[in-house]
Amino acid sequence: MAENTYPDLVIVGAGLFGLTVAQQAVEHLGVKVEIIDVRDHIGGNAYSYVDEETGAEIHKYGAHLFHTSNKRVWDYVNRFTEFTDYVHRVYATHNGEVYPLPTNLGTINQFFRAHYTPAEAKALIAEQAGELAGTDPQNLNDKGIQLIGRPLYEAFIKNYTAKQWQTDPSELPADIIKRLPVRYNYDNRYFKDTWEGLPKDGYTKWMERMIDDPRIHVTLGVDFFDESQPFNKKALLAAGVPVVYTGPVDRYFDYELGDLKWRTVDFKEVRYDEDDHFGCPVMNFSDADVPYTRAIEFKNFNPERYDQQNHEKTVVWEEYSRFAERGDEPYYPVNTDADKELYARYAEKAAAEPKVVFGGRLGTYKYYDMHNVIDTALTAYEEQVEPLLKK
């Protein structure tokens, strides 16, 4: 491909970061943008599709729930989709009984078969934190006890976390659960953000609208590192084409400093000949004898679609967590001190790439919710991408 036939900007990865940058570049500068993705769909991990048998919208890479308190992000996403009034609530099965999460006064009173007032419950939790009350523990096990007391921690957090990380919680850093909420009222809403909901006609429709512009072209099933296709790393760097890269940062540098560690998730699909199996969208399984961490019943995310759903069948995905290997889908950065130090070295190399902007979860080795991805993409466009395109 001759140099003058390249687009003005190539974006590697059709997830929310890449789509937001593409949309902004076209809107503000009128440039031509090529988006490539190794997958066969846009949307990154937020991609969803409709299950033909049940009518449920399946979130292909696990439950995606939109919530934010950032008005800039909320105003931006509402340009491309309306949202339902869905409010996320989670339940947990422990010893054959179902409890509401996060830990709230309902959880506490049900667990202790009591009718504590908020003040009494607060005093109880402080007492059950024992010698850890008022301290600042550095491992997850002690931090959990300090936050919600030993009985509740051991019932709802300890085994769940051990399954999620395949590591004893005493060997995990405390900051994994530094925001573990305890509510001394009956509020069982999972998120505390100002705005919350699900896109009315699905995630994929939302993201298709973001790039519905003739100046944006998408090529799927294309590997950035495959030199047999035109939009490859070597050719683009040689031609001086600005690139937004949202793939794994260690992969970009051919793992030359070593591999960053991730957790991944495997899903096992189970179908039931019934309308509703759990009665909620997400059921956690807190006990060690259940091998999966939680189950997602997708139909229950969208009760407003009742008339489009099959009420004799439902589909559930059981979620299993493990350490990722090369070739797996990376979900959660492990973020040990060694990983952070390694990422800092990769970040130095990334900063030295004059025409490449690194973004998204994989490109910056961070765990982001969707609203964080969009916010960082809007900022990256303003501060990094637009200056590159104006040169």
CA–chain centroid gap for 312, Å, is 31
Strands 66-68 and 90-94: unpaired
- CB-CB contact of 165 with 36 (8 Å): no
Question: Cβ of 186: how many Cβ atoms within 10 Å?
Answer: 12
Catalytically active residues, by annotation: 179, 183, 263, 294, 319, 367, 369
- CB-CB contact of 344 with 83 (8 Å): no
Please list, in sequence order, all residues whose beta carbon lies within 8 angstroms of the beta carbon of residue 8, skipping any fewer than 6 positions away. 25, 29, 31, 32, 33, 241, 242, 389
